[in-house]
Structure 1
Amino acid sequence: MNPRLIRPLIGAAVALVALYVFGYLLAWKWVVCRVEVPPGESLLLTYRGPFPPLRSVPTAPTGTLVETDGRGRPKQVGILQEMPGPGRHFINPLEYKYERIRDTLIKPGEIAVLTAKFGEQLPQGQYLADREGQRGIQRKVLTPGRYRINSYAYDVEVLPVTSCVKTNGGVQHEPGEALLIPAGYVGVVTNRSEDLRTGARRGTQDDVLQPGIYYLNPFATQVDILSVGYNETTLQVAPEVGPDGSMLYQEVEAVGVGELAPLSRDPVYDKEKGIWFLSRDGFDIFLDFTTIWGILPDQAPDVIRRFGKAGEQQQNVLEVVEEQVVLPDIGSIARINGSRHGAVDLLIGDSREAFQTDTSEDLESRLNEKNLTLLFGLTRHIYVPAEVREPIQRSKIAMEVKLTNDQKQLTAEAEGDLMEAKAKVTLEERRVAAETDKLFAEAIAQGEKQAREIEATTEKLEAELDARTAAIQADITTTIGEAEAKKVELTNAAEAERYQRYVQTLGGPDSYNRYLFAENLPEDLRLGVFYAGPGTFWTDLRGFEQVMLGKLASESLAPGAAPEGTGTAASPAPRPASIRSDDRR
């Protein structure tokens, strides 16, 4: 290749690379096309068409979104469904237009209902979209969280969780509370339309929602929260009061038992309070009544069907049931059963108990017909007029007084018996005490006698034991003396035999005496031999030696020289003689 052509080609290649790097990558793409999306936002893109416009692209029909190919590239001019999220994006402003959209934030205790603006039309009679791609209100709701929603394709309505609640049953929900049904309550569900996904029919469902958290579409479901368990309802009589606030009383004619006796005044009772009816004999009767009734979970749906008011958004069904069912039934049943009895019958135990039983059974049957539960009904107090009540009370009082007097007489008799028994007990106590003292004295005398006998026996045994001990001690002393004498005898004999053996061994008494003389010489004796002439010194020395040996032998055999502890003197044991000399010549 011609070298002149290589250099221009290299320059052109370098220029193209520089133009691509600095012109396209740096200036165009990094500066013009770069879009930074912060967290919490996304981009709504609108496709303008290809650039350069080398081909024509159709516009998406009104009310629709842009169709895309398999690689996600738009095939029409219009708004795209996909929305790029937070991060760095490179978007050609000649092909796309973008708009920053903030994410939809659903807080705890809230839901979001989506309404699709585009998509397939819903079938006739259906107003909720059960799947994606259908236009209209979406049955599925969005729970708390952060969502990237195309505002061109969907409308978003954020609602509280309790927006599906129609009847609260006295439940108070705080703002932001996620717990839809608290403990002690159930939720009765009423579907506004059929749910094709689950097959749930329209209307009130037989299955209730237990306490917990639920996210329900208020356009699809209505929930009535109802308290389950037992409730107390009481009808109580109240007296009428005058303008000054004091109780009003009615006058009663004087009647008596045997003789006239004034009656206590009766208050004037309000016939609108408690339960009022006429007895079989025409007296005004007032009574207090308390009932414990309730609604069980399986009864809740039927209660809502019967007593739920469709025109009211917030109501307390328990109050409705109490006002429309429980209170009227208690009043009517008590009046019907009470009018069958006379005034006196309502005071006597057996007939009053029969009235109580009949009223409770009739009320239980009436509530069961309306799918309610009765725990028990109790007639607490019956107010009977004084002209009926007090003669009976006085008769009862007289009877009780008679019974009291009879009992007092029995008590007096019992007290007499008690005093007699106490006297007998005292006499018996004294007799037992005397017997006890006698037995105690006899026991002491017997004990002292046995003690003296034991002491005498003990002294006798001690004397016998001392005599035996003395005899044994004498035997011991005699035996010891004989043993000591025998010991001395044997010792002396042994010593004599030993000296005899010494003498025999050394060859005679003279040799033994010399041996003792040599043994008893002092250790530091020094002998010197001097020459003194013929005969004189040696002759004298031999006579001196004999004298000294005789003296030593007489001292060793002298009587009374006994060793210490035995009474005999111990002679030194013979040992080899040694002659010590410093100088031997």
Structure 2
Amino acid sequence: MTQSLSPTPPRRMSWLAKGLLGLALLSAAAAAVLGVFIWWYVFRVEVGEDELLVLIRKSGKAIPTDLGQDFDDQVILYDQLVEAIARKTGETPDEVREGYKGIQLNVLTAGRYFPNPYSYERRVIKTTVIGPNEVGVLVRRYGRPLEFPKTVATEDDERGPVATVLEPGRHDINLLANEVQRFEMILVPEGHCGVVTLLSGDDPATPNTYTVEPGEKGVQRQTLPPGRHPYNPYLQKIDLVDLRSHKYDMLGDEAIYFPSNDSFEIELHGYIEWAIRPDRAAEVTVAYGDEDDILNKVVLPYVRSISRIQGSRMRTRDFIGKTRTTFQEHLLTELKKACWREGVDLKAVAITEVKIPSEIASLISAREQADQEIERSKNQIEEARAEVRLVEERERQDQNKQVGEARRGVVTVTKRSEQQKVVQVTQAERELEVARLNLEAAEKLASATRAKGRAEANVILFDYQARAEPLKMAVAAFGDGETYAQQFFLQKIAPAIQSILSNTEGPFADIFKQFQVFPGAASPASTASKGGSQ
């Protein structure tokens, strides 16, 4: 039994359902447009080329307060704090950074970002630019306090000024977590050096010394040369030291007073020129102080003491005349040695005036005049002697000149004779050599002539032999020479005979008679003889 199924007619959507669907679609479209609007205009942050974006987490967990003394009052999520929270809570470092309140240490550079404004406060700051003649010192606002006696931070989690300076240029620095202080580079002028004192560093390996090794706290042995140098005022103290020459005049109250060897008071006026040794500038500065201290503690005491020691060995009259120059030279030599040991280069000492007591000044002056007169007389005598020596020298020179000319004449004649002898010998040798060469040429020519004659004779002989050889062979063929001659004669004459008119008797006829004899027949002579006999 089958049951027929009839199709159910479609239901028509009511106008209310259509309205609700349209409203839902319109709401969804409006929500999408609103979401895009909020995402683009509320979430979006544009960061320029010279800007940075710092994110501050507003919502989330608070930083624990029981992490230890080093992490008290911290609001910046730096690496060591994040690791401490992660160890305590068991979370990962990324979960700590995303889930705890505080200032994010890392900054976002130029670009477009969409951080959640309800979770983060967004601050756009400028990049830090250090000028060409500046240095920047980074001062951290987070981390553990510096331990005494450190003045700069050398570890990543220490708070305070950082030892490394920021060179000129642009730097991406989070100014909410750090402060940047700018300082002018130190300028060391020409003729100066910079003595560097390290305010923080390792304790000196050798204590109680004026200077220390690099990296140790104290005055550095190596100084800065002229020019601009970056430095960190929290780490280094730089003092400029003048290495140029200094001049000091010893006049008036600064003059040098001392008793002479004969108990008279001597007053010296003059000046000294000195400078600090560049290789010991740091040591001298620490030991004595600035230029005035070096002058008063080193240079002047040595000048006064050595001048008194040297001057007390001399009599009063020795300070007038040439001996004063000797005193000045000895004084300079002793002072240079003494000051050099102390790191001071004494360049010059000059005595411009020597004052002696007036009661003996006239006596010394008169004695000096007498000495000068004696010296003048000695000079005149010496000049006269020099004139005599000059005349003698001239006479000797003239005599030597004449002797030299005579010797040159003898030498000239001798040289000329030797040269002529050499020329004649050379010419004779040359003629002998020419004659020898001519003789050799004649001998070679005669030898060539003989060889030529022998060659020509051999040619003629060979020619005759060449001609005689066929004749000899022909004669040998005919048996003897007579037969050959007869044959040769007949060969020559036979072609010219046309007819013969001759007697049958005689030598000419005998030539032809031989042709009448036939083999086996008797000759006419034999026949005649036979007939006669018959």
TMscore range, shorter length: 0.5 to 0.7
Name the amino acid aligned to 2:343: L
Query: Structure 1 residues 398 and 29 mapped into 2: Cα distance closer, same or farther (>3 Å)?
Result: same
Q: 1:75 Cα deviation (Å)?
A: 3.1
Q: 1:300 Cα deviation (Å)?
A: 1.7
Equivalent pairs: percent with the same residue?
A: 16
Structure-2 separation of matches of 1:74 and 1:513: 157
Match of 2:389 in 1: 410
Q: 1:333 Cα deviation (Å)?
A: 3.9
Q: 1:189 Cα deviation (Å)?
A: 0.6
Helix, strand or coil: the match of 2:234? coil
- Match of residue 163, structure 2, among 127, 140, 150: 140
**Cα deviation 1:411-448 (Å, max 9, x = unaligned):** 3233334444444445555566677788889x599979
Q: 1:21 Cα deviation (Å)?
A: 9.8
Alignment of 1:26-65 (within 5 A): 26-49=36-59, 64-65=74-75
Structure-1 separation of matches of 2:234 and 2:455: 133
Q: 1:118 Cα deviation (Å)?
A: 5.4
Helix, strand or coil: the match of 1:345? helix
Name the amino acid aligned to 2:39: K
- Match of residue 286, structure 2, among 301, 304, 325: 304
TM-score w.r.t. length of structure 1: 0.54
Structure-1 separation of matches of 2:488 and 2:396: 130
Contact kept in structure 2, 1:65 and 1:80, CA below 8 Å = no
Q: 1:101 Cα deviation (Å)?
A: 0.6
Match of 1:92 in 2: 116
Contact kept in structure 2, 1:293 and 1:374, CA below 8 Å = yes
Contact kept in structure 1, 2:302 and 2:339, CA below 8 Å = yes
- Match of residue 330, structure 1, among 277, 284, 303: 303
Query: Structure 1 residues 336 and 20 mapped into 2: Cα distance closer, same or farther (>3 Å)?
Result: farther
- 1:187 to 2:195 alignment: yes
Alignment of 1:191-230 (within 5 A): 191=199, 195=200, 198-199=202-203, 205-211=218-224, 215-226=230-241
Structure-2 separation of matches of 1:64 and 1:358: 70
Query: Structure 1 residues 484 and 516 mapped into 2: Cα distance closer, same or farther (>3 Å)?
Result: farther
TM-score w.r.t. length of structure 2: 0.58
* Residues paired across the two proteins, number: 433
**Cα deviation 1:182-209 (Å, max 9, x = unaligned):** 8973523152xxx4x6346999824334
Contact kept in structure 2, 1:44 and 1:80, CA below 8 Å = yes
Match of 2:343 in 1: 372
Q: 1:325 Cα deviation (Å)?
A: 4.2
Show structure 1 runs of 5+ residues with no match. Answer: 51-56, 163-167, 173-181, 238-269, 308-316, 518-544, 550-585
Alignment of 1:479-490 (within 5 A): none
Name the amino acid aligned to 2:220: D
Contact kept in structure 2, 1:36 and 1:88, CA below 8 Å = yes
- 1:104 to 2:119 alignment: no
Structure-1 separation of matches of 2:423 and 2:155: 118
Give the alignment's Cα RMSD to 1 decimal.
Answer: 6.0
Structure-1 separation of matches of 2:447 and 2:339: 119
Structure-2 separation of matches of 1:490 and 1:45: 138
Structure-2 separation of matches of 1:111 and 1:474: 115
Helix, strand or coil: the match of 2:108? coil
Match of 2:100 in 1: 75
Alignment of 1:164-175 (within 5 A): 171-172=188-189
Query: Structure 1 residues 234 and 277 mapped into 2: Cα distance closer, same or farther (>3 Å)?
Result: farther
Structure-1 separation of matches of 2:44 and 2:184: 39
Helix, strand or coil: the match of 2:232? coil
Helix, strand or coil: the match of 1:36? strand
Helix, strand or coil: the match of 1:149? coil
Contact kept in structure 2, 1:186 and 1:208, CA below 8 Å = no
**Cα deviation 1:338-362 (Å, max 9, x = unaligned):** 3552354246767854663356325
Helix, strand or coil: the match of 1:217? coil
Helix, strand or coil: the match of 1:547? coil
Farther off after superposition, 388-397 or 479-488: 479-488
Contact kept in structure 2, 1:285 and 1:343, CA below 8 Å = no
Contact kept in structure 2, 1:329 and 1:363, CA below 8 Å = no
Contact kept in structure 2, 1:116 and 1:155, CA below 8 Å = yes
Which structure has the highest helix share of the two?
Answer: 2
Helix, strand or coil: the match of 1:140? strand
Farther off after superposition, 30-39 or 339-348: 339-348
